[in-house]
Amino acid sequence: MYDFKPAAALDPQELHRELFAAADALTADEPDGVANMANVAALLWEFLPVLNWAGFYRVAPAKTGGADELVLGPFVGRPACIRIPFGTGVCGTAAESRATQLVADVHAFPGHIACDAASASELVVPVLRDGRVIAVIDLDSPSPSRFTEADAAGIEALASLLAERI
């Protein structure tokens, strides 16, 4: 049994240090990327308060061939849209720009894809391997302005830890 739980009332930076350590411990010896994404999605949900969705989109071939797109990966939350083209919505913008998207109000983001009507703010961090995007980590919150620069920095550290493990 794994019992990774955050201590009560941690400040956000400490919470992210504990999340990183738990993700490192769970994924270090496991070569299966799907298993690692599934466990990290569960850790994100466990450690970070006020979320309604936490998980991964992977870069994968389009159904009909052509350009790669984002395809739904392991997550916790309500069923979500399965395929997102690069450049579309918050996730597709993060993938295309290879840059973190910290969105205080998703309704003000052009092209935002509403998978869950409850989502109000969002943080999407690309996972880069050798400079190429292989996945994004997507966090949604029902609270406006839920995510901070500390969250962005914490999830970016997690993304680089996972680059060779998913």
Applying CB under 6 A, which of residues 84, 133, 135, 166 lies at the interface with ligand SME?
Answer: 84
Report the C-alpha dihedral over residues 18, 21, 26, 31, rounded to 10 degrees. 140
158 makes contact with ligand SME (CB under 6 A): no
91 makes contact with ligand SME (CB under 6 A): yes
Distances (CA, A) of 71 to 7, 85, 136: 34, 9, 10
Quote the DSSP letter at residue 6.
P
3-state SS class at 14:
helix
112 makes contact with ligand SME (CB under 6 A): yes
The secondary structure of 128-151, three-state, reads: EECCEEEEEEEEEECCCCCCCHHH
Give yes or no for a contact between 121 and 143, defined as CB atoms under 8 angstroms apart.
yes
Region near ligand SME per CB under 6 A, out of 28-36, 61-69, 85-93, 149-157: 85-93
Region near ligand SME per CB under 6 A, out of 9-17, 35-43, 113-121, 152-160: 113-121
Nearer to ligand SME, 69 or 122 (CB): 122
43 makes contact with ligand SME (CB under 6 A): no
69 makes contact with ligand SME (CB under 6 A): no
Q: Which stretches of the chain bind ligand SME, using CB under 6 A? A: 53, 80-81, 84, 89-92, 112-113, 115, 119, 122, 138, 140
